[in-house]
Amino acid sequence: MIFAYTLIVITLIAAVIGTLVLTTKSDENYKKETKQNTFRLTSIYIIVILFSLMGLAWYITNF
């Protein structure tokens, strides 16, 4: 079970680091579409967190 928790934490940390690395690159069009890009990024995080929790629940109930 600790393996599953560790895997989830590593995935979330990698996502945050990847996001921070990508935000250092500037793009002129990004400022024009900030609201839409923020919505997309938030949606991706929500989906990843939901799937992580579902995977954790599956792991707990089956093992």
Nearest 5°: the CA angle 52, 50, 12 is 50
pTM here is: 0.50
pLDDT at site 30: 65
- Give the start-to-end residue ranges of the domains of the chain: 2-24+33-62
Q: Where are the alpha helices (DSSP H) in 1-63?
A: 2-23, 28-32, 34-62
Rounded CA gap, 49 and 29, in Å?
28
pLDDT of residue 33: 75
Other C-beta atoms within 10 Å of 49: how many? 14
The number of CA neighbours under 13 Å toward the Cβ of 9 is 6
Q: How does pLDDT run along the chain (63 residues), one tens digit per residue?
A: 889 899 999 999 999 999 888 877 776 776 677 788 889 999 999 999 999 999 999 999 997
